[in-house]
Amino acid sequence: MILFCDTSALIKLYIKEAFSAEVQAEAAMAQAIAVSRIAWAEIMAALARRARENPVDVDAIETVRAQLRIDWPGLAIVEVTQSLVELAGEYADTFALRGYDSVQLAAARQLQEAASEELCFASFDNRLQKAAKVLGMRTLGNAVG
């Protein structure tokens, strides 16, 4: 099984928050953890926001950044290509998704179609989860909005 993590799920592998244990358990069973190339920018932005909002957590967040730099080369990265962004544009319209959310979904879909094994789409965004289910993906996450 391939676990595709959008940024809301990926961060749960590094920062303990609601549903981190579930994502970590699924990741432990996965043959590969996949992400879209854009997840790097999204997770770094999320960490920077956390550091600004909770200055007491700056050292812990820097530790997470360092671990991400170590782990990133071991992830299966889905590259952003013209065909992927065109598909993302279709998904943005069809499923009423935000731009980067539609890119995440398109990346997972391309991987799902190319892979010979099951793909689990991990996300904690309600619309994204619903769209993934419509596309026939198994999903992980307690959608929060």
| 75 within 8 A of 35, measured Cβ to Cβ | yes
Q: If 0-12 CB within 10 Å is exposed, 13-18 middle and 19+ buried, where does residue 145 land?
A: exposed
Mean pLDDT for all residues in the chain: 95
Class of domain 2-140: alpha beta
Give phi and psi for 125, each to the nearest 5.
-120, 125
What is the pLDDT at residue 9?
Answer: 97
What is the pLDDT at residue 143?
Answer: 55
pLDDT band at 70; cut points 50, 70, 90: very high
Residue-wise pLDDT for 8-42, tens only, equals 999 999 999 999 999 999 999 999 999 999 999 99
| 77 within 8 A of 34, measured Cβ to Cβ | yes
Residue 65, pLDDT > 90, answer yes
Query: What HEC string does the chain produce?
Result: CEEEECHHHHHHHCCCCCCHHHHHHHHHHCCEEEEECCHHHHHHHHHHHHHHHCHHHHHHHHHHHHHHHHHHHHCEEECCCHHHHHHHHHHHHHHCCCHHHHHHHHHHHHHHHHCCCCEEEECCCHHHHHHHHHCCCEEECCCCC
Spell out the domain ranges in the chain.
2-140
Residue 144, pLDDT > 90, answer no
Residue 145, pLDDT > 80, answer no
Rounded mean pLDDT of 48-69?
96
